[in-house]
Amino acid sequence: MSKNKRRVAGTLTLMTMLALWAALLPGGAAQAGVAGTAVAHARAEAEVGCTSFSNMFQRSPAYYLHIPTVGWDSGDVDCVLARGMNNVGVLALQESLNRCYGQGLATDGQFGANTERAVRNAQNIINSQYNAGIAVDGRYGPQTAFWFHHQIYDHNNGGYHTGACSRWGW
């Protein structure tokens, strides 16, 4: 388990225990609501933003995907892209949204309303194709990333797009 996942699990476990404890206090419903808000806040604080992308090899050393990650070529995919972010991780996401989900976005590295809408569209497509049950929230996080198809690049052809898409690890 990654350091971030352990930190999230520990924080959420503590917050869940606080929520249960608060529910047992007089006025438990109101107290549980406060603790529930604390759980949501702990989740948001525990999330790490994707700041770049990594070249993740697929099927052979010649083919790879650009997967949003924490840091350049770190391989740490346990991160989130959401509205307001601006970096090359968003750019990699936009390229895959265009190629694999037909979204027609400007590839500018800015996660704005159009990119958020495109991620929602991709989440709906993923849910309908795979019955994935992921939240349709317009955020690219670990749940969406698991099912998400990325554009395939060809190392032997100068790193150009192949026109194909794949899930990482498949």
- pTM of this structure: 0.71
Burial string for 115-150 (b: 16+ CB within 10 Å, else e) reads bbebbebbbebbeeeeebebeeebbbbebbbebbbb
Question: pLDDT for 10-67, tens place per residue?
Answer: 333 333 333 333 444 444 444 444 444 343 334 444 689 999 998 887 666 688 888 9
Diameter over CA atoms, the chain: 68
Q: Which residues 6+ apart lie within 8 Å of 26 measured at CB?
A: none
Q: Does the pLDDT at position 149 exceed 80?
A: yes
